[in-house]
Copies of this chain bind each other. A is one copy, B any other.
Amino acid sequence: MSSNDEMYEELLQLSGKAALLGSCGSVLGWDRETYMPTKGAEHRAEQLSLLAGMVHEMSTAPRLGELLDALRDCRFEGADAVVRQANVREMIRTWKRAVCLPGRLVSELARVTALAQQNWVEARSSGDFGVFQPWLEQIISLKREEASAVGIPAGGEAYDALLEEYEPGATSSEIAEVFSGLRQQIVPLLAAVGDSSCRAPVEILHRDFDVSKQEQLARAAAELIGFDFAAGRLDTTAHPFCSGMGPGDCRLTTRYDGTFFSGSFFGTLHEAGHGLYEQGLPAAAFGTPAGTAVSLGIHESQSRLWENLVGRSRAFWEGFLPRAKQIFPESLGDVSLTDFHFAVNSVSPSFIRVEADEVTYNLHIMLRFDLERALIDGSLSVADLPVAWDDRFEHDFGIRPQTAADGCLQDIHWSAGLFGYFPTYALGNMYASQLFAAASQQLGDLDRQIREGEFQPLLTWLRTHIHQHGQVYSAAELIQRASGEPLSDKPLVRHLQERFSPLYGL
């Protein structure tokens, strides 16, 4: 029998190889969205399916299970004992999940979601929910099966088993509780904004903004906050994303609208926030949990922190508006800091989540969380979803979607089988505010730093408290260690009040 150290090394080698092969798939996935010619789609699907299959095979190899079994109760010693322990712990978690899923279920999910997405596209464009309904029913049935297979936690519900994939350690009852607290404070804030006579001058963001200049400005902003373009790129895609492909290579994408300023600018800041996290993961730990992002919620916290906490702050635009004016003298030359800052922080109930402001955004998430949880536990039938959505929406936002495309068909997630994913967006907003508040406290005059374009201290703080740890600590532990407190809605509520009360004269 080999020693623990030898087994641990073998473990790293096996998981490193699977991760390396998986990162080849990331390049192909990115290329598919950016530069692949249309007729390459079929061959690309075969390439990606081959890679995914091989990675899955490597990740569920019996030898991996043997090693993890042998190392399960091992107490490592020495300087990196914490890291080793965490690597074994996290690899056991993902290994168990992977081997619990029957191959038949994995391929059935892949097949059904591929077809469901096509039908979702059709349903959304025609506004006919009926086209999508049978597919969603199938998906929900498969996701319930998945939850049973991977194991529903004691005292929990099937939804928890799905949530675990995106936000390890979180439970739906905890999330429901924290959402409920948040909701009680957002609803009156939104009502007060609605009653206010102040209106953001949003028309200044809908002037002519040359696309190549937008790109220049977005790139400058991403660079300014610390995104390393020698280790990354910014390209154009239909749906923006950030893809970390391994050490030294992280790709951001955004999209441009020649008559709207905010989409590409805040979209790029958002993806750059994700990118800073990827660029801050320890390169030497690539392929191990210690070199991997901890959860979707924490990932989203990094994007939202830079997009909203920094990027929509008055301090940021005090420093950056002159630069934007230089690039767009005709469209922004006459715009005051006060007007610009108000415009990029306009609050207004609207149907589409991805276009929502900071105040209403989390209500969009809570709606989805409650409905998808009900779909999984069976208390809501798929047939009843459209009306349930519209009723709840009207209740929360005071407006009622007129088409399913503006309602329950707007997001791709469910058609892709992503149940338990949505709440991580709101968790991200809460984590972001909590981290930003802690950083503010510890870094002194963060406002001044932001105004003067000094982003290194904040980035270093995030590197130190979040990025460098990978999955060594859980999301909950990271938040506790960084802010001294468990997850709380208070920092987010405080942030929203401090930002929007003055703007809307509340």
Contact = CB atoms under 8 A, between A and B. Distances in A.
Interface stretch (A1-9, A31-39, A360-368, A373-381): A31-39
A275 B286 CA distance: 37
B46 A20 contact: yes
A54 B246 CA distance: 19
A50 B247 CA distance: 16
B246 A40 contact: yes
A246 B39 CA distance: 10
A246 B47 contact: yes
Contacts of A51: 21, 24
Contacts of A73: none
A28 B47 CA distance: 12
Contacts of A47: 20, 23-24, 27, 246
Contact of A37 (B35, B37, B43, B229): B229
B286 A38 contact: no
Given A27-B31, A47-B20, A247 B42 contact: yes
A154 B50 CA distance: 42
A405 to B, nearest CB: 29
A463 interface: no
28 contacts: A17-B50, A20-B46, A21-B50, A21-B54, A24-B24, A24-B25, A24-B28, A24-B50, A27-B31, A28-B28, A35-B35, A35-B233, A36-B249, A37-B231, A37-B248, A38-B230, A38-B231, A39-B230, A39-B247, A40-B245, A40-B246, A40-B247, A40-B248, A42-B247, A43-B245, A43-B247, A43-B248, A44-B249
Interface of A: 17, 20-21, 23-25, 27-28, 31, 35-44, 46-47, 50-51, 54, 228-233, 235, 245-249, 286
